[in-house]
Amino acid sequence: MQDSLFGDTPQPDQTLCEGAVVLGGYARRLDPVIGGLLEALAQDAPFRQMETPGGRKMSVAMTNCGGSGWVSDRAGYRYEGRDPLTGRPWPEMPAPLRDLARDSATQAGFTGFDPDACLINQYLPGARLSLHQDKDEADFSQPIVSVSLGLSAVFLFGGLSRADPVRKIGLEHSDVVVWGGPSRLRYHGISPVKEGDHALLGRRRINLTFRRVL
Ligand code: MD3
Ligand code: FE
């Protein structure tokens, strides 16, 4: 299966709306290392399906690296310095990932981005993420950098109110999106991932979101 419609040709940056920039194929530098990095991270901090505060099991399996990690359970959503599953600190953020996040933010016009958290989402076919805002971070002037890997997905991009109309945007392997400024608090989600088999990552979609939490 082809990884990108654009092959090795660099794609122009595309602004979705004010503050939201798609860097098509910008993460291709990770291709030689991403499989090994994910395997090592998941060995230390396994993927797990967290419980929502309402008591439902999420279809997406998650883990984290960096100084803080996002967690959800019956008590709510928050960031924690340790993995509740193991009691250990989350694994360190690997330098190639941190550097990609910094370079992406700079490329999109956000200088000095220094992420202290990376949430790693794993979607098997059928998994989805319903419309939500990311607002568990302290400083909304900091952008979020998201990296899509493996199977492609339909990203849902709404407005500042849940009821606002939603745009659908295809995201494929190695696409990076930087969400800052007025787009930082927009509602967003992922449609159920379709069956497939990706050359590098197999039967799954992985999304990395880099955040400044503290
Ligand atoms: C727009 N992840 O982990 S990444 C999440 O593909 C999350 O796994 C999705 O939403 C995924 O919270 C979407 C794109 C994304 C991430 C954060 C955003 C879009 C955003 C924050 C603000 C606005
Ligand atoms: Fe989100």
Does residue 207's CB lie within 6 angstroms of at least one atom of ligand 1?
yes
Q: What is the mean pLDDT of residues 34-63?
A: 98
On the question of pLDDT at 176 being above 80, the answer is yes
Full-prediction pTM beyond 0.75? yes
Ligand found nearest the CA of 146? 1
Q: How far is the CA of 189 from the centre of ligand 1 (A)?
A: 7
On the question of pLDDT at 55 being above 90, the answer is yes
CB-based neighbours (< 5 A) of ligand 2, an ion: 134
Nearest atom in ligand 1 to 62's CA = 3
Percent of the chain with pLDDT over 90: 93
Does residue 209's CB lie within 6 angstroms of at least one atom of ligand 1?
yes
Q: Is pLDDT larger for residue 90 or for residue 9?
A: 90
Q: Find the radius of gyration of the CA atoms of the chain.
A: 16
Q: How far is the CA of 100 from the centre of ligand 2 (A)?
A: 19
Return the pLDDT at 2. Answer: 53
Give the model's confidence band at 1: pLDDT under 50 very low, under 70 low, under 90 confident, else very high.
Answer: very low
The model's pLDDT over 99-110, given as tens digits with 9 standing for 90+, comes to: 999 999 999 999
Does residue 171's CB lie within 6 angstroms of at least one atom of ligand 1?
no
Q: Is pLDDT larger for residue 16 or for residue 205?
A: 205
Say whether domain 14-211 belongs to CATH 3.10.180.10: no
Does residue 121's CB lie within 6 angstroms of at least one atom of ligand 1?
yes
**What is the chain's mean pLDDT, rounded?**
96
On the question of pLDDT at 194 being above 80, the answer is yes
Residue whose Cα lies nearest atom 5 of ligand 1: it is: 209
Ligand found nearest the CA of 210? 1
The model's pLDDT over 146-166, given as tens digits with 9 standing for 90+, comes to: 999 999 999 999 999 999 999
The model's pLDDT over 108-130, given as tens digits with 9 standing for 90+, comes to: 999 999 999 999 999 999 999 99
Does residue 174's CB lie within 6 angstroms of at least one atom of ligand 1?
no
On the question of pLDDT at 57 being above 50, the answer is yes
Residue whose Cα lies nearest atom 13 of ligand 1: it is: 189
